[in-house]
Structure 1
Amino acid sequence: MATDNAPSSWPTVGRAVALLTVIISVLLTAFSWPSVRSSVHDVPIAVAGPSAATDQVRAALEQRLPGAFDISTVADTAAAEQLIRDREVYGAIDVSAGNPQVITATAASAAIAQTLQNVGAALSQSHAQDAGTPAAVRDLVALPADDPRGAGLAAGALPLVLGGILTAVLLTRLVRGTGRRITGALAFAVTGGLAMAAILQFWLGSLDGSYLANTGAIALTIAATSLTILGLESLLGYAGFGIGAATMMLVGNPLSGTSTAPQMLPGWSGPLGQLLPPGAGGQLLRSTAFFDGHGAAHSIIVLSAWLAAGVVLCAIGGLRSRQRPASPTADTTVRPVEPATA
């Protein structure tokens, strides 16, 4: 007779090994592919100066790095700087004074700032009589002195996602009632936002700007993530939780572009990442921390839409659970036995 302690069949072992192989392959692809295939393409930059000079720079850039930049031409340095501060462009090449000058914003993307420095040096060498003359570089919006590489901001992307997932897990396990779960998720978004912003800004020195604005950016990201997963779980059960967590962790986090820039991700993955909470949240936090909120509108709309969708899904799931008929119980009523008839 079979017992519970009997060994599993070999086909069962084979299926487990195959499933684990698929899972590790998906994880490796999700986290490695965006980094390995990263390159500069369609990065918005400005070129400032007279039309003849800017046309030469545009042609030189297209020759050196075809398709790398989406160039906006402006008349002078002030206009280029305004575009950078408004998060319309990542940097500028200023030829209004002759030899190209590079204006960067490492707070927007250290990787793109480095690319612009290299391009500016090459352009300067081609313009200057002395090939060893370096291009002047000015960092208009720099990262904090305590974190000049932006490591804290990049590392904070994963805890933002995990915070939303863990919120959904704990509230599903510990809290009953749709309204209480939504309230718990929103309350944790606030307290978690306060804590994470304090750590990143006051301890690690990775953020500048308004502490409350940074808190709001983090809180909105956590709320959008957690409520979306909670809504899917309330509607679809464990399958919904798996779909939500996988979307945020395996798609949203690798494609967020927080450590580099969305324009450096391959193909369609950059725009897709900005439509998911991790990508929108990372860009929103850069805007509040370093650009006085400029360029935040798109991220706020995306995060608010996910948050609202999560609340709606939670409400629908709660209504369905209340309308579900109760399981039938055994009828224990004692009835008199009628005499048999002939």
Structure 2
Amino acid sequence: MTHHATPPGTGRKLTLVVLALAALIAAMLCAFALPSLNSGPHHVPIGVTGPGQAAEALRDNVDGPEWDVRVYETSGAVETAVRGGDIAGGLAITAQGVDVYTATAGGPSATSAITALGDGVADQNKTQATVHDLVPFTDDDPRGAGLTAALMPMIFGGIFPALILGNVFPGHRGLRLRLAGALTFSVVAGAAVAAVLQFGTHSIDGNYGLTALGIILGMAALSTTLLGLQARFGMAGFAFGGALMMLLGNPLSGLATGPHWLPDGWGTVGQLLPPGASGSLLRANAFFDGAGGGLPALVLTVWVVIGVGLALLADRRGRRTTGSRSKVVAGSGTVDASQAELATS
């Protein structure tokens, strides 16, 4: 009767795997739940203007952990700042009442809060508030559902190429093909997503080419990063990268609410990850003519460089390994077909 002994250390390994999975689930819950539970205005930039000392008095009363208040000379200056994405909205105290300037496309949650703030100021002054939505969503998608829904295709547009191309073109010999395929896919898929959002669902407007370039850059940042991690560290690297993008990048992207609606620190982390930077760049290109898109574009470019750099390091390491194997096989003097394939794989 044959007895199969359990290999030494199996119990310890199983325990570590179970604990790691439990920690992963706990981290997932924290990443999705904590930002929502602590959501609200956090240093949202707004502008104020008014006659005499009215603007300064309003700033002194409002400025704090929720609002980052900036004083402007005229209501026109406030409007320009809102349209340019410099501030989320603004209040202008006039003889007729309080003009509230918002940009719903820049962040629906912040727009609601600024509107409520304007109503409160109007009540204090015993007057009326008039809301001017300077950068709204499109008429066909007034709530921005298409913009919010675009995040998941962009994330999976980075994950799928790394996963599928890794299986179709495995090993060191397929690394460059995987990298070229991921970049090509980013161009095609990014252009397609922009076309669907602009011409299919009419969820965005603006310059199609600029919007498409932003989405392409976002997908390229995700796909090259995951490919680089996979090439350099194997499936463990791919799993880590995928978990990072999904468990942190997705809930901290701020695409639905705007980054200022996330708790301090969380929003900053989200904007430094490809999903958050991709969402901010899409919003800037689609509704603000590219204003405010410089920083997220830079963040995405850095991620592309990191991903390509990891892939090149893996390629260099693979070439050294291939060269060593070739010397060993050639030195043996018995090179058959299987050995030749091993030496070049």
User: What's the TM-score once normalised by structure 1's chain length?
Assistant: 0.88
Query: What displacement does 1:14 show?
Result: 6.7
SS at match of 2:272: coil
How many residues matched? 323
Bigger Rg, structure 1 or 2: 1
State the shift of 1:23 in Å. Answer: 3.0
Pair 1:217-2:217 in alignment: no
Cα distance in 2 between the residues matched to 1:16 and 1:309:
29
Greater mean deviation of Cα atoms: 31-40 or 279-288: 31-40
- Tell me, yes or no, if the aligned pair for 1:43 and 1:263 is still in contact at 8 Å: yes
Aligned in 2, Cα 1:119/1:199: closer, same or farther, shift over 3 Å?
Answer: same
> Is the 1:77–1:96 contact (alpha carbons within 8 Å) kept by the matching residues of 2?
no
Q: Hey, what does 2:286 align to over in structure 1? A: 289
Residue 43 of structure 1: aligned partner: 44
SS of equivalent to 1:107: helix
1:57 aligns to what? 58
Correspondence for 2:205: 208
**Secondary structure, aligned partner of 1:189:** helix
Query: Structure 1 residue runs of 4+, over 4 Å off?
Result: 9-20, 327-333
Which residue does 1:138 correspond to in 2?
132
Q: CA deviation at 1:18?
A: 4.6
Question: Alpha carbons of 1:262 and 1:326: their partners in 2 closer, same or farther (altered >3 Å)?
Answer: same
SS in structure 1 at match of 2:105: coil
Shift of 1:188: 0.5
In the alignment, does 2:70 pair up with 1:72? yes
Shift of 1:101: 1.3
Comparing 50-59 and 146-155, the one that deviates more: 50-59
Query: Which of 152, 159, 163 is the aligned partner of 2:146?
Result: 152
Does the aligned pair in 2 maintain the 1:76–1:96 contact within 8 Å? no
2:235 aligned with 1:234, yes or no?
Answer: no
2:168 aligned with 1:174, yes or no?
Answer: yes
The one-letter code matched in structure 1 to 2:121 is L
The partner residue of 2:111 within 88, 110, 113 is 113
CA RMSD of aligned residues (A): 2.3
Paired position in structure 1 for 2:196: 199
Match of 2:70, SS state, is strand
Structure 2 segments unaligned to the other structure (5+ residues): 335-345
SS of the residue corresponding to residue 322 of structure 1 reads helix
- Determine the C-alpha separation between the residues in 2 that align with 1:155 and 1:180: 30
TM-score where L is the length of structure 2: 0.87
Q: Secondary structure, in 3 states, of the residue corresponding to 2:104?
A: coil
What amino acid maps onto 2:178 in structure 1? R
Secondary structure in 2 aligned to 1:138? strand
In structure 2, what is the equivalent of residue 25 of structure 1? 26
| Aligned-partner Cα distance in 1 for 2:309–2:188 | 23
Which of 320, 324, 335 does residue 323 from structure 1 map onto?
Answer: 320
Kept in 2: contact 1:50–1:75 (CA 8 A) = no
Q: Comparing both structures, which one devotes a greater share of its residues to helix?
A: 2
The answer to whether the 8 A contact 1:178-1:315 is kept is no
Q: Which amino acid aligns with 2:316?
A: L
1:179-237: per-residue Cα shift (whole Å, max 9, x none)? 32221111101110111112222222211111221111111000001001111111111
Partners of 2:66 and 2:219 in 1: how far apart?
33
Letter in 2 for 1:279: G
Q: Of 256, 269, 274, which residue of structure 1 is paired with 2:271?
A: 274
